[in-house]
Structure 1
Amino acid sequence: MHPTNIVLLEFHPEQDNLTHDKELRDGLSVALRMGNTIWLANDESVSLERVTLCEEDSRGKSSFTRDHTQFRLHDYLDLPLPPHGETREDINEADIEGLACDNKYLWLTGSHSLRRKQPRPDDGAKKAHKRLCSVGADGNRYLLARIPIVEEAGAYTLVKETGQEGKRRSAAMLRGDEHGNELTALLKDDEHFGPFLHIPGKDNGFDIEGIAVAGKHLLLGLRGPVLRGWAAILEVALVDDEQPGRLKLAPVDAEGALLRKHFLDLGGLGIRDLCAQGKDLLILAGPTMDLDGPVHVYRWVGGAQPGSEPVMHADQLERVLSLPYGVGVDHPEGMTLFQSGDGKEEALMVVYDSAAPSRQIGDSTIVADVFPLPARRKRGKA
Structure 2
Amino acid sequence: MPILSQIVTFSGKIHKSEDLSAIANFEIDGRPYLVVGSDESKRRVQLLKQKSDQGYVVDDDLEITLPVSEKADEIDIESIAFDPKSTCLYIMGSHSQKRKTVKITDKTAAENRVRLTDTKISPETDRNRIFQVFLKPKTGKVKGEIKQTDWLKEVFAKDNYLKRFIDIPSKENGIDIEGLALQQNHLFLGFRGPILRGNYVPVMVIDCNDLDDSKAPKEYEIRLVQLNGSAIRDMTAVDDGFLIIAGPMGDAPGPYSLYFWDGTDMVYGKDRPRPMPPAVIHLEDIEPPIGTDGAQGKAEGITVLAETATEYRALIIYDSIKDGNPQLWHISK
TM-score, normalized by length of structure 2? 0.83
The count of corresponding residues between Structure 1 and Structure 2 is: 308
Deviations 1:26-48 (A, max 9, x none): 01101111131000011110211
Q: Aligned residue for 1:171?
A: 146
Residue 276 of structure 1, CA deviation: 0.5
Q: Residue type matched to 1:68 in 2?
A: D
Alignment pair present for 1:294 and 2:280: no
Q: Residue type matched to 2:315 in 1?
A: M
Distance 1:247 1:160, change over 3 A: farther
Q: Aligned residue for 1:368?
A: 326
Deviations 1:67-103 (A, max 9, x none): 43231112xxxx4xx2235xxxxxx211111111122
Mapped contact 2:21–2:39 kept (Cα < 8 A):
yes
Mapped contact 1:282–1:297 kept (Cα < 8 A):
yes
Residue 214 of structure 1, CA deviation: 2.4
SS at match of 2:98: strand
Cα distance in 1 for partners of 2:214, 2:148 equals 5
Cα distance in 2 for partners of 1:343, 1:145 equals 33
Deviations 1:167-191 (A, max 9, x none): xxx53111x4xxxxx2211221322
Cα distance in 2 for partners of 1:329, 1:230 equals 27
Residue identity over aligned pairs, in percent, reads: 25
SS at match of 1:140: helix
Mapped contact 1:113–1:200 kept (Cα < 8 A):
yes
Alignment pair present for 1:98 and 2:98: no
1:57-206 equivalences in 2 (<5 Å): 63-69=54-60, 70-74=63-67, 79=68, 82-84=69-71, 92-103=73-84, 104=86, 105-121=88-104, 122-124=106-108, 127-132=111-116, 133=118, 134-152=120-138, 157-161=140-144, 170-174=145-149, 176=150, 182-206=151-175
Moved more, 287-296 or 115-124: 115-124
Unaligned stretches of 5+ residues in structure 2: 269-273
SS at match of 1:115: coil
Equivalent position to 1:236, from 181, 185, 206: 206
Q: Residue type matched to 1:337 in 2?
A: V
Alignment pair present for 1:266 and 2:257: no
Alignment pair present for 1:4 and 2:4: yes
TM-score, normalized by length of structure 1? 0.73
How well do the aligned residues superpose, as a CA RMSD in angstroms? Answer: 2.7
Residue 147 of structure 1, CA deviation: 1.1
Distance 1:131 1:2, change over 3 A: farther
Unaligned stretches of 5+ residues in structure 1: 17-23, 57-62, 86-91, 162-169, 177-181, 251-256, 376-382
Residue 237 of structure 1, CA deviation: 2.0
Deviations 1:135-183 (A, max 9, x none): 2122210011211122235xxx24141xxxxxxxx53111x4xxxxx22
Residue 126 of structure 1, CA deviation: 5.2
Mapped contact 2:174–2:194 kept (Cα < 8 A):
yes
